[in-house]
């Protein structure tokens, strides 16, 4: 699976095709993340691109999640963490059965207005309410299992899965969670009160967000995609999905190695004298 409409992806895929042909039988090719997946029996999917490609693939699979091997043709690649030059080695391990499939939390996000459901979405990374124009402070209420937790005065609020904890939530000061933990992280963006800190809670709870006085441009964003502009009656509901994203991991490509290499942990600062 790859978005071949993008020139950089197409150029990255072409030299890898002979390696794929040597180790696996390709029964279907998908080059459009908006298309219906073919009804074929497969053991796993190879997704070539960046983490955005992985997110779109997870959404495209819906409730028929397949094990995914992610090949990084993008930048950081927390999910698509197999470098092209290691694809042959990794495929050898997969074909030999030397791998494991790790399940990752996905969520259902619903938008309700005046008792009616406007949107329902499946996601892997995060739900974000962003203040938008006129770029003033926004108040967002957080409810957990229908109990009011607090009202954040902030530029936005992120509810993230462990997979998403290394994305927007991390840049907002949120913690990194191991990808297979069953929990959500709530991270305010630039909170006005210094005592507001990210919160980690169980994935078995139901989370609701309400912006009682949204701005003109206050928006709901799911996995980087703008879903709608919010109005005062809107209530956003987030809960665990029955679907679980399945990621193939091979030895020597563990979680902490990925973090260490992608985030540059252990490196030393240097500067020109």
Residues 44-93: tens digit of each pLDDT = 999 998 888 899 999 999 999 999 999 988 777 788 888 899 999 999 99
Active-site residues, by number, are 51
My answer on whether 231 and 136 are in the same domain is yes
Number of CB atoms found within 10 A of residue 79's CB: 28
Which range among 31-35, 105-109, 141-145 shows the weakest confidence by mean pLDDT? 31-35
Domain residue limits at 61? 7-99+250-263
The model's pLDDT over 114-160, given as tens digits with 9 standing for 90+, comes to 989 999 999 999 999 999 999 999 999 999 999 999 999 999 999 99
The answer to whether position 271 is within a domain reads no
My answer on whether 24 and 75 are in the same domain is yes
Helix H, strand E, coil C: the string for 185-210 is EEEEECCCCCCCCCEEEECCCCEEEE
Give me the CATH number covering residue 76: 3.40.50.10330
91: helix, coil or strand? helix
The answer to whether position 80 is within a domain reads yes
Average pLDDT over the chain, rounded to an integer: 89
Spatial distance between the Cα atoms of 205 and 202, rounded to a whole number of angstroms: 6
Where do we find the tokens 């939530």? 169
146: helix, coil or strand? coil
My answer on whether 90 and 125 are in the same domain is no
CA distances to 128, 145, 156, 175 from 187, rounded to whole Å, are 9, 18, 9, 9
My answer on whether 152 and 230 are in the same domain is yes
Judged against a pLDDT cut of 60, whether residue 269 lies above it is answered with no
Judged against a pLDDT cut of 50, whether residue 214 lies above it is answered with yes
What per-residue confidence (pLDDT) applies to 271?
54
What per-residue confidence (pLDDT) applies to 255?
75
The answer to whether position 144 is within a domain reads yes
CA distances to 97, 112, 144, 220 from 237, rounded to whole Å, are 40, 8, 10, 12
**Global confidence as pTM:** 0.89
pLDDT top residue among 266 and 112: 112
Domain count, the chain: 2
The answer to whether position 1 is within a domain reads no
Among residues 158, 128, 125, the alpha carbon closest in space to that of 55 is found at: 125
My answer on whether 56 and 11 are in the same domain is yes
The answer to whether position 154 is within a domain reads yes
My answer on whether 64 and 136 are in the same domain is no
pLDDT top residue among 273 and 176: 176
User: Per-residue confidence at 4, pLDDT binned at 50, 70, 90?
Assistant: low
The answer to whether position 2 is within a domain reads no
Among residues 182, 183, 240, 230, the alpha carbon closest in space to that of 209 is found at: 230
Judged against a pLDDT cut of 80, whether residue 265 lies above it is answered with no
What per-residue confidence (pLDDT) applies to 205?
97
My answer on whether 135 and 170 are in the same domain is yes
Q: Do residues 151 and 195 touch, judged by C-beta distance below 8 A?
A: no
The answer to whether position 78 is within a domain reads yes
Query: Residues near 75 by Cβ (< 8 Å), separated by ≥ 6?
Result: 50
Number of CB atoms found within 10 A of residue 26's CB: 10
What per-residue confidence (pLDDT) applies to 37?
77
Q: Do residues 139 and 213 touch, judged by C-beta distance below 8 A?
A: yes
Spatial distance between the Cα atoms of 226 and 230, rounded to a whole number of angstroms: 11
The answer to whether position 268 is within a domain reads no
Which range among 5-14, 37-46, 65-74, 217-226 shows the weakest confidence by mean pLDDT? 5-14
Helices within the chain (DSSP H only): 7-13, 17-23, 51-61, 87-95, 168-171, 255-263
Q: Tokens in use for 47?
A: 């997704």
User: Per-residue confidence at 273, pLDDT binned at 50, 70, 90?
Assistant: very low
My answer on whether 114 and 229 are in the same domain is yes
What per-residue confidence (pLDDT) applies to 93?
95
My answer on whether 111 and 95 are in the same domain is no
My answer on whether 235 and 200 are in the same domain is yes
Give me the CATH number covering residue 188: 2.60.200.30
């Amino acid at each position: 699976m790859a978005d071949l409409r993008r020139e950089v992806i197409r150029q990255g895929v072409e030299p890898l095709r002979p390696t794929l042909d040597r180790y696996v039988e390709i029964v279907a090719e998908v080059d459009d993340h908006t298309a219906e997946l073919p009804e074929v029996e497969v053991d796993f999917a190879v997704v070539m691109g960046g983490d955005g490609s992985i997110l779109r693939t997870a959404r495209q699979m819906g409730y028929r999640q397949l094990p995914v091997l992610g090949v990084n043709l993008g930048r950081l690649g927390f999910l698509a963490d197999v470098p092209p030059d290691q694809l042959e080695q990794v495929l050898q391990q997969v074909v030999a059965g030397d791998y494991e499939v790790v399940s990752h939390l996905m969520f259902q996000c619903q938008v309700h207005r005046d008792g009616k459901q406007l949107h329902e979405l499946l996601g892997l990374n995060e739900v974000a309410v962003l203040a938008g124009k006129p770029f003033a402070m926004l108040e967002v209420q957080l409810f957990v299992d229908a109990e009011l937790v607090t009202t954040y005065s902030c530029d936005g609020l992120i509810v993230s899965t462990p997979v998403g904890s290394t994305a927007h939530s991390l840049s907002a000061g949120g913690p990194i969670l191991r990808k297979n933990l069953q929990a959500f992280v709530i991270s305010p963006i630039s909170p006005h009160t210094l005592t507001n800190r990210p919160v980690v809670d169980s994935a078995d709870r139901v989370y609701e967000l309400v912006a009682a006085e949204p701005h003109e441009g206050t928006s709901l964003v799911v996995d980087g995609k703008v879903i709608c502009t919010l109005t005062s009656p809107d209530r956003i509901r987030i809960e665990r999905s029955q679907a679980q994203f399945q990621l193939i991991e091979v030895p020597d490509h563990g979680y902490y190695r990925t973090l260490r290499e992608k985030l540059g942990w252990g490196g030393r600062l240097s500067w020109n004298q």
